[in-house]
Amino acid sequence: MAELKPIPLSDRQFHLISRALADPRRYEILQKLGGKDVCACGDIRGCIPVSAATLSHHMKELENAGLVKSEREGKFVNYTLRRDMLNAYLDRLRRI
């Protein structure tokens, strides 16, 4: 596996990621995404018992933080975990 190049995080980006990860449901969603390359929104909802509106809110927060990338295919949305951003966040935490 190729080594991911570290990316610098602004203070704002660090704060957004921290806030996104503070919610246990969002952390659970990231765990589900971590085991897959791409995950459909319906698959996530099948694993986490929340309404579609609540899941949409959580996914938007994770996307705003830069932790996930979304791709629309027709009326469906697929999500991918952005490991580069997660690694940059973890690296910055280690330096604190």
Question: Domain range spanning residue 91?
Answer: 11-95
Q: What values do phi and psi take at 44, rounded to 5?
A: -65, -45
On whether residue 41 sits in a domain, the answer given is: yes
Higher pLDDT, 15 or 40: 15
pLDDT grade for 1, boundaries at 50, 70 and 90: very low
SS3 category, 70 = strand
Give the dihedral of Cα atoms 66, 68, 74, 75; nearest 10 deg: -100
4 in a domain, yes or no?
A: no
Tell me the CATH number at 23.
1.10.10.10
6 within domain boundaries: no
Its pTM stands at 0.86
- pLDDT, one tens digit per residue, over 2-31 is 555 668 899 999 999 999 999 999 999 998
Q: How many domains does the chain have?
A: 1
pLDDT in tens, 47-77: 888 898 999 999 999 999 999 999 999 988 9
